[in-house]
């Protein structure tokens, strides 16, 4: 075979080899390495996967607290948000999500959720609002009267009876306090400032209402109630 042919064949083989290598390299570059679950820190992804089922899409219209409520965002602090996400909220159906409490979210992911709430949802000015956590001892009798004056007109309806023992068995004092202060604007429930036409609810009012509602809880939730028909 002429030498010129051998050279030509060698050049063609080399060209094919280079093309194959380039193609393999491009294929390798196109392969995306999957992100490990514990490395996901995108707020939308974390919220949709862990929170939206209870707190609703975009923090509204769910069965649990509407996290996007501006008044709620205005009264709750970062430490409380992180505590509830990490450890859950005793006395409610809110589970623990933090790895330190048996969940599967890292501290970094919980911080990403808290930061995302603050960045994506409006925070109302909290001036004049009762504090998020109770700092007084509530009086049940006074709270009953405040409940009748400010709450009963709506909550005497069968579908909204928060004095029902079954509901109260699933609601902690803190969750009752939170919803009394922040309301549920996504469901049409007014907040502390608009709950009573003539005078906003005070810190004492909220504390007393929660004490009254807490007194209505059954000591044996899930068991037959004393006055239940047999």
Answer yes or no: is 225 within a domain. no
pLDDT at 131: 96
SS3 116: helix
Residue 151, classified by CB atoms within 10 Å of its CB into exposed (0-12), middle (13-18) or buried (19+), is buried
- Does one domain contain both 111 and 168? no
Answer yes or no: is 74 within a domain. yes
- Does one domain contain both 45 and 111? yes
Answer yes or no: is 86 within a domain. yes
pLDDT at 6: 46
Answer yes or no: is 227 within a domain. no
Answer yes or no: is 60 within a domain. yes
Tens-level pLDDT at each residue, the chain (230 residues): 555 554 445 554 554 455 555 555 555 556 777 878 889 999 999 999 999 999 999 999 999 999 999 999 999 999 999 999 999 999 889 999 999 999 999 999 999 999 999 999 999 887 889 999 999 999 999 999 999 999 998 888 766 778 888 889 889 999 999 999 999 999 999 999 987 767 899 999 999 999 999 999 987 776 665 565 55
pLDDT at 19: 52
Residue where a domain stops, chosen among 92, 120, 148: 120
Terminal-to-terminal C-alpha distance of the chain: 106
Q: CA triplet 203, 204, 209: central angle to 5 degrees? A: 100
Answer yes or no: is 20 within a domain. no
pLDDT at 12: 46
- Does one domain contain both 116 and 52? yes
3-state helix/strand/coil string of 124-136: CCCCCCCCCCCCC
Q: CA triplet 21, 23, 25: central angle to 5 degrees? A: 70
The range of the structural domain enclosing residue 71 comes to 37-120
Report the number of distinct structural domains present in the chain. Answer: 2
3-state helix, strand, coil in the chain (%, to 5): 55, 0, 45
Answer yes or no: is 52 within a domain. yes
- Does one domain contain both 116 and 175? no
- Does one domain contain both 180 and 108? no
Find the CATH number of the domain harbouring 50. Answer: 1.10.760.10
- Does one domain contain both 50 and 102? yes
- Does one domain contain both 116 and 41? yes
Answer yes or no: is 135 within a domain. no
Beta bridge partners of 7: none
pLDDT at 43: 98
């Amino acid at each position: 075979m002429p030498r010129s042919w051998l050279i030509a064949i060698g050049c063609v083989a080399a060209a094919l080899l280079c093309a194959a290598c380039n193609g393999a390299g491009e294929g390798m570059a196109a392969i995306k390495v999957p992100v490990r679950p514990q490395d996901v820190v995108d707020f939308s992804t974390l919220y949709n996967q862990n929170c939206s089922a209870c707190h609703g899409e975009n923090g509204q219209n769910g069965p649990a607290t509407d996290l996007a409520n501006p008044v709620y965002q205005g009264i709750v602090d970062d430490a409380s948000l992180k505590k509830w996400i990490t450890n859950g909220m005793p006395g409610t159906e809110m589970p623990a999500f933090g790895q330190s409490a048996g969940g599967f979210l890292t501290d970094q992911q919980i911080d990403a959720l808290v930061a995302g709430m603050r960045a994506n949802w409006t925070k109302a000015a909290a001036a004049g609002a009762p504090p998020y956590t109770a700092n007084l001892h509530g009086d049940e009798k006074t709270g009953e009267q405040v409940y009748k004056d400010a709450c009963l007109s709506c909550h005497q309806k069968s579908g909204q009876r928060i004095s029902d023992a079954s509901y109260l068995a699933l609601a902690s004092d803190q969750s009752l306090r939170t919803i009394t202060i922040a309301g549920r604007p996504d469901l049409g429930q007014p907040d502390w400032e608009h709950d009573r036409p003539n005078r906003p609810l005070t810190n004492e009012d909220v504390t007393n209402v929660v004490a009254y509602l807490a007194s209505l809880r059954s000591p044996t939730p899930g068991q037959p109630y004393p006055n239940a028909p047999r």
